[in-house]
A and B are shown apart, each in its own frame.
Chain A
Amino acid sequence: MERALKRGSTGAADRLKNSNFAQAWLILVLALIFGAALAAVQVNLSGIIAANKLNETLERVPELVFGAAAAAGMTSQNASVDITPGTVTVRKDIKTSYYNLFRVTHEGKLAGWVVKAGGQGYADKIEIIIGLDPGADTITGLFVLQQKETPGLGNKITFPRWRNQFIRKKTSPPLVVTKGKSQASNAIDAVTGATISSRSVTGIVNRAIGDVKGRLTPATIRFYERQP
């Protein structure tokens, strides 16, 4: 195309350049080509991207409810674990909050719940998922999905050593953050030098459990079908 334009008539190229009509057509043609490319990308990739987003949480669910070792064992046995997503709406005064959660059943029986919660951390928003036993009396796991806390200090909340403190804690009375080991059954030892991050996570856990606890019934949960 370039050779033809150069060799043939530079007049033609110049005319194309200077004609507004031709320029408008050029932009239109480009827009159509790019639009088609984008549509192809959208059609092919949007499913994969949505699946990525969901799997990020789904992958964690078994180990949050059953514990890491048991979950690994289940995967190797291909045990039938059913995970159903749903939402709970909580209306307090004028504020309405939504909680996304998952009901986990193993071989037909209710095995536990996983609740997604978030809140303000020290630096930015923190998003966590909490594993609960069927009656929502005990915490079975905690995982931090998203955080932007200070590297080396606040982001130690993602370390298993700190998160595992939450396992086997009762959901009431609410958890309290302490500096240094405490004997109380509802104490969480703060990360050294990151008290605020630790308090934020514990606050999110308390709030989420407090909101969701009485509402884990078929009447209050809106389940939806998970896309395969």
Chain B
Amino acid sequence: MDYIFDIFVISISAALINNFVLYYFVGICPFIGVSRRVDMALGMGSAVTFVMTIAVFLSWTITTLILMPGAPVSRWVAGYFMSAEKAAGIDLTILTYIVYIFSIASSVQFVEMYVRKFYPPLYKSFGVFLPLITTNCAILFACLTVMSNIIGVENPIEAWNLGRSLALGLFGGAGFTIAIVIMSGIREELDLCDIPAPFKGAAITLIVGGILAMAFMGFNGVDSGLKAALAGTP
């Protein structure tokens, strides 16, 4: 039961309270550049969520099995080359960023092939934006958050397992989608307004984004309240 509550809090936190776009500032480039029509934004958000979940799955698995200090697979392989106790201390975390970015690139490739095979019109409408998801900060950020909850923790029992990581990936992407869809809806309206010339384009989007971020600040503190309520303490 504890576990379900934990997943619930992580999900709400990633989607609304610590929204990737409006609180952590990742995924800003598509937030400003792509969002102009709600259906495009929804498609982009879904693609990012899909890639994020796969990427987080890959990063968690690779980190826990290979990269972590004392990880099982590396320890087994190193056992062939050095003594067992030296192999137990093997630490491949220096390769983390390289491995992560390549696993993200692979996830995007995979999603691209999938979309091209099963949703050809969607693939055409995406155009160049699908490969560009590789450089979306939000996905690497999700992987890094998962990593920091595995490697940096002092007590191994509190290291995140796969369920929590997938919850972060899935709902972080959902939060990104929510932000980008709201923004695209607002921009559809903005197109009909008379905006002063210097503000047209990115500037007005940023200012609207600021007001949106203020609105989302209202969610601040919800997760600590949730945790207290779920744990039963006042």
Chain A binding surface SS class: mixed
Are A122 and B224 touching (Cβ within 8 A)? Answer: yes
Are B157 and A120 touching (Cβ within 8 A)? Answer: no
Query: How many residues on chain B are close to A (CB under 8 Å)?
Result: 15
Are B155 and A98 touching (Cβ within 8 A)? Answer: yes
A22–chain B nearest beta-carbon distance, Å: 21
Task: Write out the residue numbers on chain A whose beta carbons fall within 8 Å of the beta carbon of B220.
Answer: 122-123, 150
Are B224 and A94 touching (Cβ within 8 A)? Answer: no
The one of A41, A87, A200 in contact with B94, judged by C-beta atoms closer than 8 angstroms, is: A41
Task: Write out the residue numbers on chain B whose beta carbons fall within 8 Å of the beta carbon of A52.
Answer: none
Decide yes or no whether B233 CB sits under 8 A from chain A: yes
| Assembly CA distance A200 to B18 (angstroms) | 19
Output the nearest chain B residue to A124 by Cβ-Cβ distance. B18
Decide yes or no whether B223 CB sits under 8 A from chain A: yes
Decide yes or no whether B95 CB sits under 8 A from chain A: yes
The one of B18, B91, B224 in contact with A196, judged by C-beta atoms closer than 8 angstroms, is: B224
Decide yes or no whether B124 CB sits under 8 A from chain A: no
Task: Write out the residue numbers on chain A whose beta carbons fall within 8 Å of the beta carbon of B18.
Answer: 124
Decide yes or no whether A158 CB sits under 8 A from chain B: no
Are A200 and B224 touching (Cβ within 8 A)? Answer: yes
Could you give, for residues 79-117 of chain B, a 1 whenever the CB lies within 8 Å of some chain A CB and a 0 otherwise?
000000000000100110000000000000000000000
Decide yes or no whether B194 CB sits under 8 A from chain A: no
Decide yes or no whether A78 CB sits under 8 A from chain B: no
Decide yes or no whether B154 CB sits under 8 A from chain A: yes
The one of B154, B223, B224, B227 in contact with A98, judged by C-beta atoms closer than 8 angstroms, is: B154
| Assembly CA distance A98 to B158 (angstroms) | 9
Could you give, for residues 41-71 of chain B, a 1 whenever the CB lies within 8 Å of some chain A CB and a 0 otherwise?
0000000000000000000000000000000
A118–chain B nearest beta-carbon distance, Å: 9
| Assembly CA distance A113 to B155 (angstroms) | 19
Decide yes or no whether A165 CB sits under 8 A from chain B: no
| Assembly CA distance A41 to B93 (angstroms) | 12
Decide yes or no whether A46 CB sits under 8 A from chain B: yes
Decide yes or no whether B189 CB sits under 8 A from chain A: no
Decide yes or no whether B221 CB sits under 8 A from chain A: yes
| Assembly CA distance A122 to B220 (angstroms) | 7
Output the nearest chain B residue to A203 by Cβ-Cβ distance. B233
The one of B2, B94, B154 in contact with A42, judged by C-beta atoms closer than 8 angstroms, is: B94
| Assembly CA distance A100 to B158 (angstroms) | 13
| Assembly CA distance A34 to B157 (angstroms) | 34
Given contacts A120-B223, A120-B224, A121-B224, contact A94 B2 (CB under 8 A): yes
Decide yes or no whether A226 CB sits under 8 A from chain B: no
A206–chain B nearest beta-carbon distance, Å: 10
Are A38 and B94 touching (Cβ within 8 A)? Answer: yes
Most buried by B among A42, A87, A95: A42
| Assembly CA distance A143 to B18 (angstroms) | 26
Could you give, for residues 141-157 of chain B, a 1 whenever the CB lies within 8 Å of some chain A CB and a 0 otherwise?
00000000000001101
Could you give, for residues 1-29 of chain B, a 1 whenever the CB lies within 8 Å of some chain A CB and a 0 otherwise?
01000000000000000100000000000
Could you give, for residues 142-154 of chain A, a 1 whenever the CB lies within 8 Å of some chain B CB and a 0 otherwise?
0000000010000
Task: Write out the residue numbers on chain B whose beta carbons fall within 8 Å of the beta carbon of A76.
Answer: none
Decide yes or no whether A32 CB sits under 8 A from chain B: no
Output the nearest chain B residue to A45 by Cβ-Cβ distance. B94
| Assembly CA distance A87 to B158 (angstroms) | 14
Enumerate chain A interface residues (CB-CB to B < 8 A). 38-39, 41-42, 46, 87, 94-98, 100, 116, 120-124, 150, 196, 200, 203
18 A-B pairs besides A94-B2, A98-B155, A196-B221 with CB distance below 8 A are A38-B94, A41-B94, A42-B91, A42-B94, A46-B91, A46-B94, A87-B155, A95-B2, A96-B157, A98-B158, A100-B155, A120-B227, A122-B221, A122-B224, A123-B220, A123-B224, A124-B18, A203-B233
Enumerate chain B interface residues (CB-CB to A < 8 A). 2, 18, 91, 94-95, 154-155, 157-158, 220-221, 223-224, 227, 233
Question: What would be 11 A-B contacts, judged by CB atoms less than 8 Å apart?
Answer: A39-B94, A42-B94, A98-B154, A100-B155, A120-B223, A121-B224, A122-B220, A122-B224, A123-B221, A200-B224, A203-B233
